[in-house]
Structure 1
Amino acid sequence: MSNFTSELIGTMILILLGDGVVAGVVLRKTKSENGGWIVITFAWGLAVMTGAYIAASSGAHLNPALTLALAMNSDLPWADVPVYIAGQLIGAFIGAVLVWLHYMKHFEATDDQAAKLGVFATGPAIRHTPSNLISEIIGTFVLVFGILSFGLTTFGDGLKPFIVGLLVVVIGLSLGGTTGYAINPARDLGPRIAHAILPIKGKGSSDWSYSWIPIVGPIIGGGVAVLLYQLLQN
């Protein structure tokens, strides 16, 4: 399996399961309606774990911020970065479309536009640009610094995906309540594009004015994590 295909399929499964649990919790008339934040965070961690096992052949980045960070750390050739990110973005878009198909009747039964968008993309609990950006920087810093410190730079095998999944759970439980912890530009951008394109009844705005934060924040956070990690190794 090529790196592009591996990242595409792994990220597709990640979003199918991750956005899927959000849909189950926030959309009307599902059996898991109102399941709560703990359900969402644990399922996201398991989604990361599952996607990582599936994408083992490429090293299972599933995240442009991680791909860029690993390239900065010389764990990935820069020439491979566009291939990885393209697979991640396309996989995230397809995964979001599959969530819509799976929960189509529940989208129709839900009037809350914010809930519909929340299935696909992150958004702040309190909209304040500096604070929201800092939240995404800190969350992604913990993710990438943890992966580097644990020696999990290729984490598609053994217990590595399980460990990273637990790391995502604790980030969500501890730091995710402010912005919904995108900590992954593809996780937010691919599904947000799907929300904008799909014929979802009464969906409302895709909130593009906020969309740069879950892209820029994770990239900065991942970069800072690499710089600090390298500094501490010297």
Structure 2
Amino acid sequence: MHPMLSEFIGTALLVLFGNGVVANVCLKKTKGNDSGWIVVAAGWGIAVYIGAFCSDAFSGAHLNPAVSIAMLVGGKLSLVDTAVYIVGQMGGAMFGAVLVYLFYREHFRATDDVDAKLACFCTAPAIRDNKQAFFCEALGTFALILPIFLMVTPSFISGDAPVDPAPVLGLGSIGLLPVGLLVFGIGLSLGGTTGYAINPARDLGPRIIHALIPMSGKRDSDWGYSWVPVIGPIVGAVVAAFLYRLIA
């Protein structure tokens, strides 16, 4: 399977299960309505596990532009391949968001809370302070990328020549469950401030879909905040990649 298609499928599954659990908790008249933050965090951990499990053998299961950019910084992914990965990730995130909307369409109609509807697509800060939210997204992504790098083959990010990303990232060598547990832990420990996007595609792709879908009773797509869950994770990932190269 081509890496772009692999990343598309894996990211679509990631968003389907991840934003799906948010919709199940936030929207009215669902079986999971108001079931709480632990359900959301657990659902996102499982979403990462499923998306990564389905794409690891073909693309290395980046599913996240921050991961791909960190690999680029580490010299293990070319600029062209990084762009290919990000296109697949963005397309998959948007497709996954459409599926969530179609699946919960009647519950979107039954929900009056416009912020709850938006939350089923993208993140927002609990306290509106973009500088602090930027720090939280950067640190949360740092806490994602550095442990992943430390889990996999010790030398995977050292060296100069780009190589095939699937064996380089090497998630299969540790099993994919630790990565899902890592995201579960980030959600429980660091997710309460911004909703822990920690993934530009996961946030921006569905946010675009929210803006485009002709859904009644929706608010604006909060574009004034939208740069935070895009730039913050990229910065956190780049810092993690440079730090790994210093300590590994």
> TM-score of the superposition, structure 2-length normalised?
0.92
| SS class of match (2:120) | helix
Between 21-30 and 146-155, report the one with greater CA deviation: 146-155
Residue 159 (structure 1) shift:
4.7
Between 216-225 and 71-80, report the one with greater CA deviation: 71-80
1:89-168 matched pairs, under 5 angstroms: 89-151=90-152, 154-155=169-170, 157=172, 159-168=174-183
1:192-231 matched pairs, under 5 angstroms: 192-231=207-246
> TM-score of the superposition, structure 1-length normalised?
0.97
Instruction: Name the aligned partner's letter for residue 5 of structure 2.
Output: T
Instruction: Name the aligned partner's letter for residue 77 of structure 2.
Output: L
| SS class of match (1:179) | coil
Equivalent residues, number:
233
Between 72-81 and 194-203, report the one with greater CA deviation: 72-81
Partner of 2:161: none
Instruction: Name the aligned partner's letter for residue 131 of structure 2.
Output: P
1:53-87 Cα shifts (integer Å, max 9, x gaps): 11121000000001000111122222200100000
Instruction: Name the aligned partner's letter for residue 217 of structure 1.
Output: G
RMSD: 1.1
Give 4+ residue runs of structure 1 displaced > 3 Å after superposition: none
Partner of 2:158: none
Contact 1:140 1:218 in 2 (8 A): yes
Residue 13 (structure 1) shift:
0.4
**Uncovered stretches (5+) of structure 1, i.e. residues with no partner:** none
Matches of 2:117 and 2:170, distance apart in 1: 32
Partner of 2:163: none
Residue 224 (structure 1) shift:
0.5
| SS class of match (2:32) | coil
Residue 129 (structure 1) shift:
1.3
Matches of 1:133 and 1:139, distance apart in 2: 10
Between 153-162 and 38-47, report the one with greater CA deviation: 153-162
Instruction: Name the aligned partner's letter for residue 214 of structure 2.
Output: P
**Uncovered stretches (5+) of structure 2, i.e. residues with no partner:** 154-167
Matches of 1:231 and 1:66, distance apart in 2: 18
